[in-house]
Amino acid sequence: RFPALQREVSELTEAEEKLDELINKCSLQLRLLTEDTHNKKLGYVRCQDLRNTVNPPDQIIMVIRAPPETQMQVSEPSEGYQISLKSSKGPIDVFLCPED
Amino acid sequence: AQECRNLELEKQKRLERIRQKRAQLEELILQQIAFKNLVQRNQASEALSQSTPPPGSVIQLPFIILNTDVRTVIDCSISSDKCEYLFNFDNTFEIHDDVEILKRMGMSLGLENGTCSPENLSVATSLVPKSLEAYVT
Amino acid sequence: RSRILISIGESFGSADKFQKINEMVSSTDWSLKRRLDGGSAPKPLKRL
């Protein structure tokens, strides 16, 4: 059993290293993709797209566009819920999707 | 026997880490496909309409959305520099990020829940580098 | 009181970032509580 287990563990080690390499490659590709100027310009959705993704569609849809590392805290006070947003890298944009 | 037990433990730990890393890699591949698909869709619709959408009529990534019942009362306080917001809700709500919205829009071609048609599978494999095609399939 | 703190503003973060928040919020249905308390009708919605 011992040599068989040794062989299995070394195969798993190889498989894990291969996955690590692919994850790093994929993360880099995704970052380059989203930072590309052309893609950045075309990386948008419309209000209608958002309305089609909520059920039921006639809800209030609030869109939050925040700078990186904005802190969002959701707390459960005595009545209802409180969400606080705090940005240290510029203003946060919040708007409601129009119903129509 | 003790050494065998140690190796068996090591093997279980590695199997769990490999499972988590596979899930992480699959999520990264889904996100790459969804983003490329969104860019292609917008490019095609702009080419069709021969115009770019008026500014303010589209929502640029990254964003998050919060949806709640239409009767929810939302009290909102905003600091003058718009760097701090405080919202009070008297009803439940949901928060989703742009990746989740793209998946719901079908931009990840149903790969996230195994409902990908053969045609969409070939579209999906065309959107990722050769080294990742096997993972898409 | 439970609270959850997360960082937002980057695209393509981890998939289940908001799952815990949505579970925490949906587990205490305040509108149900308000109805049970016979609370007053909701105040007119404030616009952002």
Q: Is A83 exposed, middle or buried, given 0-12, 13-18 or 19+ CB atoms closer than 10 A?
A: buried
- Residues in Cβ contact with B62 at an 8 Å cutoff, skipping those fewer than 6 apart: A65, B97, B98, C9, C10, C11, C12
What kind and span of H or E run contains A39? helix A37-42
Q: C45 and B74: CB-CB below 8 Å?
A: yes
Q: Cβ A74–C21 below 8 Å, yes or no? A: yes
Q: In chain A, pLDDT over 70 holds for what percent of residues? A: 96
Q: Answer for the pair A23, B50: CB distance below 8 angstroms, yes or no.
A: no
Task: In whole angstroms, give the CA distance from residue A83 to residue B75.
Answer: 10
Q: What does the pLDDT look like over B20-73, one tens digit per residue?
A: 999 999 999 999 999 999 999 999 999 999 988 887 789 999 999 999 988 888
Q: Which of A2, A52, A65 sits opposite B3 (nearest CB)?
A: A2
pTM, full prediction: 0.84
By the CB < 8 Å criterion, does C39 face chain A?
no
pLDDT digits (tens, 9 = 90+) for A22-43: 999 999 999 999 999 999 999 9
Chain B residues 30-89 with CB within 8 Å of chain A: 31-32, 35-36, 38-39, 42-43, 46, 53, 57-70, 72, 74, 76, 78, 81-89
Question: Cβ(A4)–Cβ(B7) under 8 Å?
Answer: no
Find chain B residues with C-beta within 8 A of C18's C-beta: 64, 94-97, 100
